[in-house]
Chains A and B, each alone.
Chain A
Amino acid sequence: MIDIQRLVKKFDDFTALGPLGFTFDQERILTVIGPSGCGKSTLLRLLSGLEAPTQGRIRLDGETISGPNPLISVAFQEPRLMPWLTVAQNVELAVWDRPDAERKEAVQAALVKVSLTQFADALPKQLSGGMAQRVGLARALVGSPRLLLLDEPFSALDPLTRVRMQDHLLEIVGDDGPNVLLITHDIDEAIVLSDRIIVLDGPPAQIRRDLVVDLPKPRKRSSREFQEIKELLLADLLPERIGALEEAA
């Protein structure tokens, strides 16, 4: 269980986040959505241990998170691969502290998950954007994390590749994968993937809506339920739009 309690993050006098608290456990994919600059990336940086909270705490299965943790991994908006390492070496970076045999096996398994075994010895400069992003995903998965943080991981991809990666993520997470906390500003992506959606307001980031999405997966984007959730979220994210819609009607 991930338990976030009265979390606050200040940069000097500027409060970027909080106080904010929620727990999550059952949901495979929890999406945090909000306008840009609202503090959602700060939340992710706190969870990943890259930033320390000013107040409050984050606990994973009862243990307080202080700094980077092997049970929590991150895939960023950009692939962030080391250009001087091969695909396999980049993935290996996340499990450098494991014994040799175990490490090789884990890397192989992670590359299988993202269907990139043939490219194990390729350099990042030889990969397409989607492939590079999959390597980033493999690196985040290789250590069998308990919690996988995704920071707008598909936002830089072309629309078709993005849809393919979303399907791929659902496959990877499956029933026994890590819990995923996904940060996005793509409403469709949030609804397609999530078991629960938290809408943030800010700064400072605060919870505006906490919504459980229990539609069966895979989800049809054209379904009425999908569209209803979309309208709801749009209204949250663009409150000024409601007035305009009412006027038009």
Chain B
Amino acid sequence: MSELILKLVRPLAAPAWPYALAHRAAAIVRPLIFPALILAVWQGLGSFSLIDPVLLPTPTKVLGALYEMVISGYLNPHLAISFQRVLLGFAAGSAVAIVIGALTGYSTWWRSIIDPTIHAIRTIPGLAWIPMFILWLGIDEGSKVVLIAKASFFPTYLNFMSGIARADRKLIEVGQVYRLRGVRLITKVLLPHSLPFLFVGLRQSMGVAWLVVVAAELMGASSGIGYVLLDGEMTGRAQIVMACMIVFALCGKTTDLIIARIAQRVLSWQDTVEKE
């Protein structure tokens, strides 16, 4: 009986590797089918003049515009200044978030003092701040960076605070039994425990920073990808607008990947399988 089963199974089991290879290839290709379809339809609509190319430039035209901006060097200074704004704002916002989040996460007293106000401020729409920031800090870099900093503060603050506040009581008890208190308890137990939460917050903050830089650069800037985008709109060149959208997507994805990689390295002790 068992021999029979073996005979039945072997012919199926033998060609396993080409099957596995095909399976992997399919896994890579499958998510690309839908976007490829969209691109094809999009290109077709333009090529056969079914839609006015002024309203919807074809993918090839958009890529052409992007290629030209990169090759001519026109894009570089704008890219640099956008990156600078995002990184400065993100760094400032998340740094303040980490300090305040550690405080309100650790101490219920401080939480009851500060946290409700932060949540109240959070509900004010981001764009509503723009006039005030311009009034206070002028139209230059200051107001833009502060707007980005304010926006990237909240995700890091919320995640990090709850990470510290929700620390495992059992591990804290271990710390207490071995007489760890105050700063030592924070650095040895609470902080490492909340690092996974912190990284979730940082990734969200970085995402928000890229969202807000567009708003910041649309409100009267003379440089930055957002400015290039606005300029494309003003001069009726939709392909420039769409090329800028691609640049934003690539920038956001790149910075997110960098943080994700750092997180992977720092959190290698986690007993979980995290897949992108």
Listed in ascending order, the chain A residues whose CB lies under 8 Å from chain B are: 48-50, 68, 70, 73-74, 76, 78, 80, 82-85, 93-94, 96-97, 123-125, 143
Contacts and interface: CB of A to CB of B under 8 A. Distances in A.
Contacts of B195: 84
B59 interface: no
B176 A83 contact: no
Interface of B: 170-171, 173-180, 184, 188-189, 192-193, 195, 269-271
Contacts of A74: 177
Contacts of B170: 76, 78, 80
Given A76-B170, A123-B269, A125-B271, A82 B192 contact: yes
Main SS class of interface, B:
helix
Contact of B179 (A68, A83, A123, A125): A68
A93 B174 contact: yes
A124 to B, nearest CB: 8
B178 A83 contact: no
A73 B177 contact: yes
B180 A96 contact: yes
B269 A83 contact: yes
Contact of B270 (A73, A76, A78, A83): A83
What are the 6 A-B residue pairs with the smallest beta carbon separation, nearest first? Answer: A125-B271, A84-B192, A84-B269, A94-B178, A80-B174, A74-B177
Contacts, number: 53
Contacts of A94: 178
B146 to A, nearest CB: 35
A48 B177 CA distance: 7
Contacts of B271: 83, 124-125
A143 B179 CA distance: 12
A221 B26 CA distance: 60
Contacts of B173: 50, 76, 80
Contacts of B189: 82
B269 A125 contact: yes
B269 A68 contact: no
A118 B174 CA distance: 24
Given A68-B176, A74-B177, A93 B188 contact: yes
B177 A96 contact: no
A73 B176 CA distance: 11
Contacts of A78: 170
Contacts of A84: 192-193, 195, 269
Interface centre among A50, A70, A93 (most CB of B within 10 A): A93
A85 B178 CA distance: 15
Given A76-B170, A78-B170, A83-B271, A68 B192 contact: no
B33 to A, nearest CB: 37
20 contacts: A49-B177, A74-B177, A76-B170, A76-B173, A76-B174, A78-B170, A80-B171, A80-B173, A80-B174, A82-B188, A82-B192, A83-B270, A84-B192, A85-B269, A93-B174, A93-B180, A96-B178, A96-B188, A97-B179, A124-B269
A121 to B, nearest CB: 12
Contacts of A125: 269-271
Given A82-B189, A83-B270, A84-B192, A68 B178 contact: yes
A71 B176 CA distance: 14
A207 to B, nearest CB: 25
A124 B173 CA distance: 18
Contact of A82 (B171, B176, B270): B171
B179 A70 contact: yes
Contacts of B178: 68, 73, 93-94, 96, 143
